Amino acid sequence: MKRLNIFFLFFCIAVGAQAEPLPTAVTQELKKVGIPRSSIAVEVREVGKHSSLISLNAQRAMNPASVMKLVTTYAALDLLGPAYTWKTEAWIDGELRDGVLDGNLILKGYGDPKFTIEQFWLWLRELRDRGLREIRGDLILDRSHFDLPTYDPAEFDSDPVRAYNVGPDALLLNFNTLRFRYTPDGNGMKVITEPRLEGLTFDNQLVPHPPSGDCDGWNDTILTQATGDSVVLQGGYPSDCGEREQSLSILPHTRYVESVFRAVWKEVGGTLNGGLREAAIPADAQLFSTHRSEPLSGIIRDINKFSNNVMARQLFLTLGSASYKPSLAAEWGMSDVPLNTERSIETVQNWLQRLGLDFPELVLENGAGLSRKERISARHMAQMLQSAADHPLYPELQSSLPILGVDGSVKRRLKESPAASHAHLKTGTLDGVRTLAGYVRSKSGREWIVVFFINHHYAKAGQEAQDALIEWLARK
């Protein structure tokens, strides 16, 4: 009995040494905004150590919002590698002679997350240099690499034109968005769109509002309604806010690709006589040109630093290619099996098991965190970050995260604090959700893994509590 009591005493001492209470500053900030401890989950541990410095509700399944992108990008680095690239192909179906294609041009996409308008212009310029000038048939789009159900961009929050609501597509071009640049101009507001698309009409009803000195949330004061090829802009923002811009998704993927193709193809001196169709590549078509994306190492920087949802969705779907089996490809009679969400979820689950990470509470929907369903615990997120820190490609993952007070989604946080530049953090925000996870380097040179999830009606007001924890860690 005496030996049992001694063992229990040493156990309590060990647990007490490993787990500290929440810092007072964090508790005070939570109390100020009415967020109870029961609505948060915190896990803090030193890199290389398996015991927790702070652990509160850490085993509870929580909505991580965009912090879920850490799972997707780490899996991609390990499964696909930092040099992985996506391709987009141009095929010709017909005879090409003296610059004239008596047939169709086919574009086949393989899920490139960042095929920008600049890259597209250069690629079409290359098609011209290869000898294609006039297309007497149709433009055919092959989007079959992704096998997805019909996507409703209004489903998440009834705001379908927002760039964050763009759905994945095997032939994603320029994030399927138009860039709107607004400039107060007398009693009205001048609007410039890029790229400029023929057939798209705008009814500009914007007016500058009286100066207010407050430019936060300016883009919420502009109402955009899109019906077919017609766009109505209403509202405005304070005239003292100057020139502003935002990216909006107005057209469906296929209509957008056709419109941009026609505009750019005309600009580089080409002509298209036919219309638009969707179809698979015919067996007798000939590969004409292949565009390659930038490598994965650059893609994950955009995904994590700027929390790009559609890029994360594209990458998540691409993960399914890591589970290809030759026999399955042979059954389909092709080298690429159509990718879907179910295959990607299975791939990630198998990958975690291979790493020895058992996350029974994990729920994946799209790998981007723009979800009301996705779940993971703070402890398991920390365990995954610990695994990443031990990985040979850890520098690639860490450098993809926003640097506190310097860039990305945490550029404006703690800019004047000693903690600035001493943390790489991924953040997430939804209605009722505010989260962060990443790495903090303290003044003593120790590196800490920190995960702080808030799931509560007042979560938006919880940033100061998260910042207090970061500053406390930076001082250790």
Q: Does residue 23 belong to any structural domain of this protein?
A: yes
How many domains are contained in the chain? 3
Q: Which of 217, 248, 279 is the last residue of a domain?
A: 248
The values of phi and psi at residue 470, to 5°, are -60, -45
pLDDT tens string 392-433: 999 999 999 999 999 999 999 999 999 999 999 999 999 999
pTM: 0.93
Q: How far apart are the C-alpha atoms of 450 and 20, rounded to whole Å?
A: 14
CATH number for position 427: 3.40.710.10
| Residue 67 burial by Cβ neighbours in a 10 Å radius (0-12, 13-18, 19+) | buried
User: What does the longest C-alpha to C-alpha distance in the chain come to?
Assistant: 97
Q: Does residue 165 belong to any structural domain of this protein?
A: no
CA 175 to chain centre: 11
Same domain as 60, residue 106: no
Same domain as 212, residue 271: no
Q: Which of 193, 227, 248 is the last residue of a domain?
A: 248
Q: Closest Cα to residue 457, out of 27, 36, 42?
A: 36
Same domain as 451, residue 371: yes
Run of H or E including 134:
strand 134-135
Same domain as 215, residue 341: no
Same domain as 419, residue 373: yes
Same domain as 280, residue 220: no
Same domain as 264, residue 146: yes
**Which residues, in sequence order, are CB contacts of 292 under 8 Å at separation 6+?**
85, 86, 87
Same domain as 271, residue 365: no
CA dist list (Å): 388 to 34, 75, 76, 352, 440:
34, 9, 12, 12, 14
Kindly state the average pLDDT of the residues 164-190.
95
Q: Does residue 216 belong to any structural domain of this protein?
A: yes
Same domain as 215, residue 262: no
Q: Which of 227, 248, 269 is the last residue of a domain?
A: 248
Residue type, 281: I
Provide the mean pLDDT of the chain.
Answer: 93
pLDDT tens string 129-139: 999 999 999 99
Same domain as 191, residue 223: yes
pLDDT tens string 344-358: 999 999 999 999 999
Q: Does residue 224 belong to any structural domain of this protein?
A: yes
CA dist list (Å): 238 to 209, 245, 247:
4, 14, 19
Task: Write out the two tokens for 152.
Answer: 């409703």
Q: Does residue 29 belong to any structural domain of this protein?
A: yes
Q: Does residue 159 belong to any structural domain of this protein?
A: no
pLDDT tens string 258-285: 999 999 999 999 999 999 999 999 999 9
Q: Does residue 203 belong to any structural domain of this protein?
A: yes
CA dist list (Å): 186 to 70, 170, 207, 220:
46, 43, 9, 22
Same domain as 372, residue 270: no
Q: How far apart are the C-alpha atoms of 309 and 69, rounded to whole Å?
A: 9
Q: Does residue 155 belong to any structural domain of this protein?
A: no
Are residues 206 and 290 in contact, defined by beta-carbon separation less than 8 angstroms?
A: no
Q: Closest Cα to residue 449, out of 392, 356, 378?
A: 378
The SS3 assignment for 153 reads: coil
Same domain as 215, residue 278: no
Residue 15 has pLDDT above 60, yes or no: no
Q: How far apart are the C-alpha atoms of 279 and 126, rounded to whole Å?
A: 24
pLDDT (0 to 100) of residue 136: 98
Domain that holds residue 108: 87-150+258-292
CATH number for position 263: 3.50.80.20
| Residue 125 burial by Cβ neighbours in a 10 Å radius (0-12, 13-18, 19+) | middle
Q: How far apart are the C-alpha atoms of 143 and 311, rounded to whole Å?
A: 16
